[in-house]
């Protein structure tokens, strides 16, 4: 009987002591994810001159870039990235390095087929071709050295080539749950 009483007291003591130690403190910062961009088909891109192989989607009204294996978008003053152009966005805690090389007038240059006063015969690149070739294009500097970005009689600026990896992410991404393909987009902000 003493053993049973003693055993019960020990169990109660272990339970009382272990409960507070099992409590976890969870801090969750909710950063809203950008609304989806609806595509009828995978987007074509163009490589932007004077960049370290940054590709832009000219066929949509928001800035969507591809660089070093990631799709990038700015929304509501925050940067997001994904391995997919239409889903899986995660918050990126700072401005990506490549962004400083992008000319803010690139859309106007694209529409006029003219890069800083020179005829720009850009090449629209289908998504499948981009995914198959971006690494080798980066390594061989295909667009700047071999193709001259498609800009006639233009001396490309000396672009600081960066390694294919992107600077480390400071915050864990909050991945979006897959959404329906036909959701309306709204609230996107351009720079």
Per-residue confidence at 30, pLDDT binned at 50, 70, 90? Answer: confident
pLDDT of residue 14: 52
HSE (side-chain half, CA atoms, 13 Å) at 73: 27
Average pLDDT over residues 154-170: 56
- Return the domain boundaries, the chain: 46-150
The structure's pTM equals 0.69
User: pLDDT of 110-125, one tens digit each?
Assistant: 999 999 999 999 999 9
121-130, 141-150, 180-189: segment of lowest average pLDDT:
180-189
Query: 92, 82 in Cβ contact below 8 A?
Result: no
CA 89/CA 174 separation, integer angstroms? 8
Average pLDDT over residues 152-162: 70
CA distances from 152 to 75, 118, 121, 147 (A): 34, 6, 8, 10
């Amino acid at each position: 009987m003493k053993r049973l009483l003693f055993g019960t007291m020990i169990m109660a003591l272990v339970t009382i002591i272990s409960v507070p130690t099992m409590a976890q403190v969870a801090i969750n910062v909710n950063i809203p994810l950008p609304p989806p961009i609806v595509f009828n088909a995978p987007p074509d891109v163009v490589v932007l001159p004077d960049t370290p192989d940054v590709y832009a989607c000219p066929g949509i009204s928001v800035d969507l870039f591809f660089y070093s294996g990631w799709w990038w978008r700015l929304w509501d003053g925050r940067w997001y990235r994904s391995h997919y152009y239409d889903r899986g966005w995660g918050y990126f805690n700072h401005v990506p390095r490549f962004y400083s090389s992008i000319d803010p007038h690139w859309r106007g240059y694209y529409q006029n087929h003219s890069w800083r006063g020179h005829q720009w015969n850009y090449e629209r690149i289908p998504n499948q071709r981009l995914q198959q070739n971006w690494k080798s294009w980066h390594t061989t500097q295909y667009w700047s050295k071999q193709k001259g970005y498609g800009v006639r009689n233009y001396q490309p600026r000396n672009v600081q080539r960066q390694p294919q990896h992107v600077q480390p992410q400071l915050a864990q991404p909050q991945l979006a749950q897959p959404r329906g393909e036909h959701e309306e987009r709204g609230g996107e902000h351009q720079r």
